[in-house]
Amino acid sequence: MILQGKRVALPSAPVVHQQFEAHAEATPDAVAVVWAGRQVTYAELDVKANQFAHFLAARGHGRGAKVGVCLDYSIDMLVAILGTLKAGAAYVPFDPAYPAARLQLLLNQVPGLALIVASPATAGMVESAAAEVIDLEELSDHLAHLPATAPDVPVTGDDVCYAVFTSGSTGTPKLTAVRHEGWFNLMNWLKLEYGLHRGSHNLVVSAFGFDLSQRALMTPLFCGATQYLLASRNFDAMMAYRMLTQHEIRVVHCASSTLYVLVDWERARGGDALTKLDYVLFGGEALKVERLTDWARRAGNTCTLLHQYGVAECTDVATSYDLAEYRPGEQDIAPVGRPAYNIDIHLLDEQLRGVGAGEYGEICISGAGVGAGYLGAAGPENAKFTTIVVDGAPVRLYRTGDRGHVNEAGELVVAGRMDAQVKVRGMRIDPTDIERALGRLAGVREAAVVVTYPDSGEAELIAFIVPAGDDLDENDVRTGLLRTLPRNMVPARFKRIPRIPLSPHGKVDRAALLDTCRDQYAASGTTA
């Protein structure tokens, strides 16, 4: 089974920063970035990025080099990113919101790191790196004397533009590389398909290390719009909502769980800033559509919710679905829609053969968005990038490890991870299915299910529930689940919590929930 995206011609050199440069020439006085009460125009940002690009070129860090960026959201962050791209190099986000131990682990995963751009607030986090650490503020006088025009560096669509860390089944971070062609194709599709333009001002709400944040950072500059940045290292719902209220922001990209928080914030305060947006583009985890239904149907809500699917290895987004088309009574799981331009979705069996219409298979992605692979990795990891023959021609694709099918409307539905299933009392189950069932019960506002292994060695399911009120009874929840789920899928324990913890990326922090389980087991003298 193959879902084919619309074929749209790309320029001979689909290079992302050249779109920004075109806007800097056409509308030099337009505001490019707003941060902490400061703003820079397209012309000003272009000059600063050009000067940093010349700095990198003079150091020999040009085409093919990798430049680390460990900065809080700021104007300097965009200078570092654009300057790196203009030099022909690729940038690597080192998110200062990460714990120190994680940053140290990531620093050791980048082969041939040229240097790291940091600030006085972040330099100490990366000082152990073998690469040189520089501060743009300290270099400001030197940079000011470098050429204001772009360096003459040939960059192609096959060149790597950025690389982000993604953890797989091994738990070890892997550095996946994205090509200019894929990134250009993604933003060109967003611009053309959804009519993004110079007025499509954006607010970044996700952590820098998240793959989603890379397109959130660059898409407004690709379209000639203004990029708004939070003056906060971690997601701050109050600050984000205040900015949505005070500025003419039209677009937000975020993880599903972050959207729930923003929607809850608007509901609690009776605001309408979210409802007035043009688009929220969200995804990255299983959708709990019941968290959005009432808000989405609110009178006067003109915001289009785009439920999207993709992986970092394939430039973040592969498919998109307008949630207004979703009918809960007709579909158990909200679709993720149809492919982006120049992207194909393949549903394959274990022998990499196409499955039939409506049948489940592994979701594989081919086309312009497929990345350059894992940097510094070999063997089983890079084997996820493989080649199959379609209609007599070789096709390079990425095996996502996700399981899904195509519904009767021709839209992709993601059912969960191939490797997320666990055996409970001899039967394989997916905890995501239980979360969906919990979310449909009266009195349950939100839920997350984790798997633990006590001393018995048998997998045990624990449901963490955020109640909608004060009268939620565990027996009622258990009984409600038994109406729709087999007994082995009903969690052994239920724990009420005030809110689901989120990771820096804005997704459900299952590690934090597991830590809660371990603490409980430790208190009782057992182990998880």
Same domain membership, residue 431 and residue 405: no
Strand 393-406 and strand 385-390: the pairing is antiparallel
In terms of pLDDT, which residue wins out, 132 or 416?
Answer: 132
Same domain membership, residue 232 and residue 150: yes
- If DSSP codes are grouped into helix, strand and coil, which group holds residue 239? helix
In this predicted structure, the answer to whether residue 314 has a pLDDT above a threshold of 50 is: yes
Confidence class for position 247, pLDDT limits 50, 70, 90: very high
Contact by Cβ (8 Å): 184, 157: yes
For residue 197, which of 221, 229, 228 has the smallest C-alpha distance?
A: 221
In a domain, 390, yes or no: yes
CA distance 200 to 278: 8
The residue-averaged pLDDT of 261-273 equals 92
For residue 377, which of 212, 211, 168, 180 has the smallest C-alpha distance?
A: 168
In a domain, 490, yes or no: yes
**Mean pLDDT lowest among 178-182, 364-368, 414-418, 495-499:** 414-418
- Which CATH number belongs to the domain containing residue 371 in this structure? 2.30.38.10
| Most confidently predicted of 163-177, 285-299, 409-423, 493-507 | 285-299
Same domain membership, residue 270 and residue 194: yes
In terms of pLDDT, which residue wins out, 525 or 398?
Answer: 398
Same domain membership, residue 288 and residue 211: yes
In this predicted structure, the answer to whether residue 42 has a pLDDT above a threshold of 80 is: yes
The residue-averaged pLDDT of 447-464 equals 81
Same domain membership, residue 443 and residue 364: no
In this predicted structure, the answer to whether residue 171 has a pLDDT above a threshold of 60 is: no
The residue-averaged pLDDT of 258-287 equals 93
Strand 373-374 and strand 173-179: the pairing is antiparallel
| pLDDT tens digits for range 54-97 | 999 999 999 999 999 999 999 999 999 999 999 999 999 999 98
Contact by Cβ (8 Å): 241, 205: no
Confidence class for position 170, pLDDT limits 50, 70, 90: very low
| Most confidently predicted of 188-192, 461-465, 478-482, 522-526 | 188-192
Which domain-ending residue is among 397, 417, 437? 417
Who contacts 166 (Cβ-Cβ below 8 Å, separation ≥6)? 173, 174, 176, 211, 311, 312, 313
| Most confidently predicted of 102-106, 197-201, 324-328, 399-403 | 197-201
Which domain-ending residue is among 387, 402, 417? 417
Q: Which helix (H) or strand (E) holds 255?
A: strand 251-255
pLDDT at 130: 87
Q: What is the DSSP letter of 337?
A: B
Same domain membership, residue 354 and residue 321: no
Structural domain count, the chain: 3
Contact by Cβ (8 Å): 230, 239: yes
Same domain membership, residue 430 and residue 376: no
| pLDDT tens digits for range 337-395 | 999 999 999 999 999 999 998 899 999 999 999 999 999 876 667 889 999 999 999 99
pLDDT > 90 in the chain, percent: 67
In terms of pLDDT, which residue wins out, 468 or 411?
Answer: 411
Which domain-ending residue is among 325, 355, 379? 325
Same domain membership, residue 381 and residue 258: no
In a domain, 9, yes or no: no
In terms of pLDDT, which residue wins out, 501 or 454?
Answer: 501
Residue type, 263: V
In this predicted structure, the answer to whether residue 18 has a pLDDT above a threshold of 60 is: yes
pLDDT at 526: 45
| pLDDT tens digits for range 232-243 | 888 889 999 999
Confidence class for position 425, pLDDT limits 50, 70, 90: low
In a domain, 335, yes or no: no
222: containing domain: 14-325
The residue-averaged pLDDT of 102-126 equals 91
- Which CATH number belongs to the domain containing residue 488 in this structure? 3.30.300.30
Q: What is the mean pLDDT of the chain?
A: 90
In this predicted structure, the answer to whether residue 513 has a pLDDT above a threshold of 60 is: yes
